[in-house]
Amino acid sequence: MSTGRITTLSPILNVMTAAAEKAARGMLRDFGELEHLQVSKKGLGDFVSTADKRSESILIQELSKARPGYSFLTEETGEIPGTDPEYCWIIDPLDGTLNFLHGIPHFAIVIGLKKGDEIIASVTYAPIQDEMYWAEKGKGAFLNQRRLRVSGRRLLEEAVIAVGTPFGTHGDPSLFQKRLEKIMPITAGTRRFGAAALDLAYVASGRFDAFFEDHLKPWDMAAGILLVKEAGGYVTEANGGKNMLATGSILAANEFLHDGLQKIIASVE
| Residue-wise pLDDT tens digits, 208-240 | 999 999 999 999 999 999 999 999 999 999 999
Q: Cβ atoms within 10 A of the Cβ of 109, count?
A: 29
Nearest to 76 by CA among 64, 88, 90, 63: 90
Report the range of poorest mean pLDDT among 6-15, 30-39, 217-226, 238-247. 30-39
145-196 pLDDT, tens digit each? 999 999 999 999 999 999 998 766 666 888 889 999 999 999 999 999 999 9
The answer to whether 236 and 259 have CB atoms below 8 angstroms apart is no
pLDDT higher for 51 or 188? Answer: 188
Q: Is 107 strand, coil or helix?
A: coil
Count the alpha carbons within 13 Å of 96 in the hemisphere toward its beta carbon.
26
Average pLDDT, the chain: 91
Q: What are phi and psi of 21, to 5 degrees?
A: -65, -40
pLDDT for 204 equals 98
Type of residue numbered 124: T
Q: Cβ atoms within 10 A of the Cβ of 222, count?
A: 28
Domains of the chain, earliest start first: 11-147 (3.30.540.10), 156-266 (3.40.190.80)
- Band of pLDDT at residue 70, cut at 50, 70 and 90: very high
